[in-house]
Amino acid sequence: MKRVLRIPRFSKEGREGKPKTLELLMDSPTTNDKGFPQEAKLLLVIDDGKNRVGFQLNTAEAALLYQRLWYVLNETAKEYIQVEEKTRKNYQSTKKGRETTDYEMDDQREEIPPEYFDDIPPEEPQ
């Protein structure tokens, strides 16, 4: 098996503790004893420093994992961009709010149409 990827994750203990690792190993496609082609095998290995666990994937499972990871990465990138834009707008509005007067802020406020108040009963006089 060939190691394709190794991601070490070091703990807070530093040199005293072994790093946790995620590895991806691959066996290339071959022909079996009867001469038929055999698909590649992928092995995901997680090592926590004490125990080592492997999970074998066939080509279809690896393709599904790839597809889901790609989708999740795209979604998290979109969410990050949205959060970044929202933060920037909030920062700019607070920065702008410090520079403008109350009179200017009244001009910037959105006016509520009267239809929104149709369902609200009138206040009773006290």
Reference 48, options 22, 12, 15; nearest CA is: 22
Low-confidence ranges of the chain (pLDDT < 50): none
- pTM reported for the whole predicted model: 0.59
pLDDT tens sequence across 32-42 = 999 999 999 99
Inter-residue contact 2 to 25 (CB < 8 Å): yes
pLDDT of residue 124: 64
pLDDT of residue 94: 82
CA distance 106 to 112: 13
pLDDT of residue 92: 83
Q: Where are the domains of the chain?
A: 1-28+38-57, 59-97
What residues contact residue 1 under an 8 Å CB cut-off, 6+ apart? Answer: 25, 26, 27, 41, 43
pLDDT of residue 113: 66
